[in-house]
Amino acid sequence: AGGAMVVTDVTFDVPAGARLAVVGPNGTGKSTLLRAIAGIRPPAAGTVRVDGVDIGALRARQRALAVAFVGQEEHPSAELTVAEAVALGRTPHRGPWSVSDGAEESVIAEALAAVGMADYRNRPCTQLSGGERHRVTIARALAQEAPVLVLDEPTNHLDVAWRLRLMRLIDDLDCTTIAAIHDLDLAVRCFDLVAVLDAGTLRAFGPPADTLTPDLIHDVFAVRGDIVTHPTTSQPHLLLTEATPIPALTKETL
Ligand SMILES: Nc1ncnc2c1ncn2[C@@H]1O[C@H](COP(=O)(O)OP(=O)(O)OP(=O)(O)O)[C@@H](O)[C@H]1O
């Protein structure tokens, strides 16, 4: 309330099960949009519907059953063990008096295994690296088993191998996934749809090849984007370089 509108005029539909990458320069409104989608900070105007239901009208528990969210700098609570932090994802599924049973335990174990943290289950969250903590918060969201998973820059803190594993994981999930992502090459290769935000409005929306064109990349990000073919796999990749050629170092400039 009282704040300026950060994101305006954004309307799109994501088919169930699709993977949507939200891209755009820093400060363009990606986190704001994702928080609105997840119902964390409802929009001042407009609605977000999951399977036709306005999530702004849901109580917290129903909302948590509909959408799982991982924030950009979210950390598991320090006093919890890894397994306890992931178990929090099961809270909306539990009745007030229910205790954890075998089925609950197996969901938690599966989520931990998906992010490679099974061997850390009894470790306090304080004794984790930044990337490990981040993987635990992703496991917590997976354990929530919501039909929509919203991830704000999920590759942050992850090493190169884990960035690619996370993309594989997202690919294997049955749920709809919406992720803010800075790596445009990953957006092109690993997502079905791309929403390009530019200064708080939706600049383009559609399949990666139709949205992340060299012209649009130049316009929105002020860099040069070239689609190149991987020498071994023949897959298209997006190569990003500075828009203006870097002057070659000559004897005179050295
Ligand atoms: N709590 C806040 N109060 C006021 N303005 C905010 C607040 N949080 C973010 N903003 C502003 O809203 C705009 C959009 O921020 P947002 O975090 O959604 O951008 P973003 O696209 O996720 O950026 P980044 O790529 O840097 O994470 C920015 O101009 C930012 O300065």
Low-confidence ranges of the chain (pLDDT < 70): 1-4, 96-100, 245-254
Task: Return the pLDDT at 148.
Answer: 97
Atom of ligand 1 at shortest range from CA of 153 = 27
> What architecture (CATH level 2) is domain 19-207?
3-Layer(aba) Sandwich (3.40)
199 burial class (0-12, 13-18, 19+ CB within 10 angstroms)?
middle
- Start-to-end CA distance of the chain, whole Å, equals 55
Q: Alpha-carbon distance 159 to 129, whole Å?
A: 12
- Centroid of ligand 1 to alpha carbon of 31 (angstroms): 7
By alpha-carbon position, which residue is closest to atom 17 of ligand 1? Answer: 31
Which of 22, 30, 35, 156 best tests ligand 1's pocket when mutated (most atoms within 8 Å of CB)? 30
Task: Return the pLDDT at 205.
Answer: 97
Which of 6, 22, 40, 70 best tests ligand 1's pocket when mutated (most atoms within 8 Å of CB)? 6
Task: Return the pLDDT at 211.
Answer: 96
CB 183 within 8 Å of CB 191? no
Task: Return the pLDDT at 5.
Answer: 74
Name residues contacting ligand 1 (CB within 6 A): 3, 6, 24, 26-32
Q: Alpha-carbon distance 156 to 163, whole Å?
A: 8
